[in-house]
Structure 1
Amino acid sequence: MRSQYRAATKYRSWIAGLNTRLGKGSRVLDLGCGSGVPVVRDLVAAGHRVAGVDISEVQIRRAQKLVPHADFIRADATSVDFPDGSFDAVVSLYALIHIPLEEQPPLLQKIAKWLRPGGWFLCSTGHDEWTGMDKNWLDSGVAMWWSHAEVPPVGRTA
């Protein structure tokens, strides 16, 4: 429970920062929304129109119950599509790192197209290059797969 509290606290400050950049009623996508809490819930509470996408049917059902004023789509983040310029912001926290590394650049290109001019992209990424499985993720007994690239040193572009 302590790790969930820390994550919710971290999310709160990140979403608050995003909210300072968005006008009321902005259209926001949460890619990898999980249960919709806290990200979608907090964005809806701030007055935004929010859509959430997650691959898990169970998480989408939970999100629909927990955040009834948002729209939710059960889909793979790499195959879902939206018209160009659909969103003022796209959020993807702790989701990209679970997508195979070779599928991330095409997804990032799609996200860039979904954003309106001047739109915002808030995401979390890995720090060190690693692909593998944590067989006991968060001491839950559940295996979790990861894939992320190394962050280039400051002053160097990839």
Structure 2
Amino acid sequence: MDSDDERDLVRRGYDALSYHYRADDADDGHYAPWLAELRRRLPIPAAVLDLGCGCGVPVARFLTGVGHHVTGVDISDVQIERARRLVPDGTFLRADATRLDLPPTSFDAVVCLYALIHMPLADQPRLINRIASWLRPGGWLLTTVGHDAWTGTEENWLDGPAAMWWTHADVSTYRSWLSQAGLTITFEGFVPEGTGGHALFWARRPPS
């Protein structure tokens, strides 16, 4: 499977499984403390980029609700259509995050939760470098990434009608990529899921 096939599998998967993954009225769930902490760190209003925004719930919904300007990006047409309906105050783009062209120092924060791990592995460090360039001095990256290296596909994901694909490096590699991009890691945690889990990072572009 080449990288375009992988991207297409993810796109088709979320088109088919959008409602299986998250309902319109879903609560903030385990995102809640992360979003509360992000709110505490941001100026008001802040410009926030939500990469892999899904249907806009809960990240974009929460942030626009407390006065921030959110640009959401997702590869799935269905997810973006839902986000535009569910979060009318946000701006949403149907795009491949790894191919985005955005102006430098445009955002006070970038949020990328459970999304980087759906992107081809070779693209991930390049995207982290671009995220660092999109952040304003002092801006924050909140991201979840792989904890252990793994690549695989799951058929009938979430008991739905489509497959899903992931690929990720191990946590030490992500730590290295964040540092090489010029970001300062201020917190690293583990988010359990099933028999494994993900790494959670807060990283900051140093203030000028």
Fold-level match, TM-score > 0.5?
Answer: yes
Percent identity reads: 57
Tell me which amino acid in the other structure corresponds to 1:68.
Answer: P
1:1-158 alignment to 2 at 5 Å?
8-152=28-172
- 5+ residue gaps, structure 2: 1-18, 178-208
Distance 2:87 2:118 in 1: 24
SS of structure 2 residue aligned to 1:125: strand
TM-aligned CA distance change 1:110 to 1:43, over 3 Å: same
SS of structure 1 residue aligned to 2:129: helix
Conserved in 1, the CA contact under 8 Å of 2:27 and 2:58? no
Cα deviations across residues 68-127 of structure 1 (Å, max 9, x unaligned)?
Answer: 001011100000121000000000111001001111000000000000001000011111
SS of structure 2 residue aligned to 1:44: helix
Distance 2:60 2:54 in 1: 9
Distance 1:123 1:82 in 2: 19
Conserved in 1, the CA contact under 8 Å of 2:114 and 2:143? yes
Distance 1:4 1:62 in 2: 11
SS of structure 1 residue aligned to 2:55: coil
State the 1:7 CA deviation: 8.2
Q: How many residues were matched structurally?
A: 155
State the 1:24 CA deviation: 1.1
Distance 1:94 1:122 in 2: 11
Distance 1:70 1:55 in 2: 16
Structure with the bigger percentage of strand:
2
TM-aligned CA distance change 1:65 to 1:157, over 3 Å: closer
- 5+ residue gaps, structure 1: none
Conserved in 1, the CA contact under 8 Å of 2:57 and 2:83? yes
Q: Between 130-139 and 87-96, report the one with greater CA deviation.
A: 130-139
Distance 2:118 2:125 in 1: 13
Distance 1:71 1:128 in 2: 34
State the 1:141 CA deviation: 3.7
Tell me which amino acid in the other structure corresponds to 2:97.
Answer: A
Cα RMSD of the aligned pairs, angstroms, is: 2.2
TM-aligned CA distance change 1:115 to 1:32, over 3 Å: same
TM-aligned CA distance change 1:4 to 1:74, over 3 Å: closer
State the 1:135 CA deviation: 1.3
State the 1:132 CA deviation: 1.1
